[in-house]
Amino acid sequence: MERILIIGSLGQIGSELVMALRKKYGNGNVFATDIKNPGEEIRNSGPFQILDVLDYKNLLHFIVRHHITQIYNLAAVLSGNAEKIPLQAWEINMKALMNTLEAARQSEAKKMFWPSSIAVFGPTTPRHNTPQLTIMEPNTVYGISKLAGERWGEYYTRRYDVDFRSVRYPGLISYKTEPGGGTTDYAVEIFFDAIKKGSYECFLSKNTALPMMFMDDAIDNTIRLMEADASKLSLRSAYNMAGISFTPNELAESIQKRLPEFNISYQPDFRQTIADSWPASIDDHIARHDWGLNTKFDIEKMVGLMLEKVKEKLK
């Protein structure tokens, strides 16, 4: 029986991943942890404990005491926030990963998931249909930490028998929990402002295309990768994962089909430079081939559901 630890479980991804894993593996077998206090849903549906991933001793102790078999480590400082505190962000992102890899090596919890990002690419990477293997010269502290993290994950798999699995998530779109300070956050904020104010001032420019994915697809595919037969995985760094690519203008037009009065204006800030260094679209055929990556949401389906759910949430 699997016993699963989720680190950083109260963020945009964790808050949904915990509930999906509890449904699948049983509430009592999915241990949610974070450095802040949970809301009712996570607290009332299964075990939760405050746990700082930077505290190695406590992390290892937790894993051994609860007979953990799998770890999902979601703790990180995202791209926008990381540019404000580069050295701390590097320290946190790398230490969070290295502590988890070491804990996996020194315990029975060999299987671990740690997300990488499209931020591993940089301004010299081919921007369209970006291949899995290509030029990678990220110029953000977040991207550098993700690229280094991928290399460490592969190293621990090869050298120490840790079963490291990862994907390069695109920007994730969801309504349950606010995004945590990234460059793709506009694609969530826009829905809340559309419903609340009827307008949105976007911090990226009109024609900045980025790869994005609806959270349900991200969660389904994350679990699919973790459940895949190890012998099928040709990559032990991180798999490209594409989703849907669109610009702020295309997203606004799709919202306007349902809310004709909605209007958008553009005031690009420091995150524009980050977005300009990332791919516009991604080639993910290796993930589709190796472990069956499969997405269900196109832009229209995603926009319809986001507007409905955000409306309900704001009521």
Q: Which residues are catalytic?
A: 142
What Rg value do the Cα atoms of the chain yield, rounded? 19
279 binds ligand AKB (CB under 6 A): no
Interacting residue with ligand NAD among 70, 117, 254, 281 (CB under 6 A)? 117
Give the end-to-end CA distance of the chain in Å, rounded to a whole number: 41
| 158 Cβ neighbours under 8 A, 6+ residues apart | 236
Interacting residue with ligand NAD among 4, 5, 6, 13 (CB under 6 A)? 13
From the list ligand NAD, ligand AKB, none, partner contacted by residue 57 (C-beta under 5 to 8 A by kind): none
Strand ranges for 146-266 from DSSP E: 163-165, 167-169, 171-173, 199-202, 210-214, 239-240, 244-246, 263-266
Looking at beta carbons only, is 52 or 290 nearer to ligand NAD?
52
216 binds ligand NAD (CB under 6 A): no
Q: What angle do CA 163, 168, 169 make, to 5 degrees?
A: 115
171 binds ligand AKB (CB under 6 A): yes
Strand ranges for the chain from DSSP E: 4-7, 30-34, 48-50, 70-73, 111-113, 116-117, 163-165, 167-169, 171-173, 199-202, 210-214, 239-240, 244-246, 263-266
Looking at beta carbons only, is 63 or 190 nearer to ligand AKB?
190
Binding mask 179-198 for ligand NAD (x = CB under 6 A): xx-x-x--------------
Looking at beta carbons only, is 15 or 117 nearer to ligand AKB?
117
Binding residues for ligand NAD, per CB under 6 A? Answer: 7-8, 10-14, 34-36, 52-54, 74-76, 78, 115, 117, 169, 171-172, 179-180, 182, 184
Binding residues for ligand AKB, per CB under 6 A? Answer: 78-79, 117-119, 142, 171, 182-184
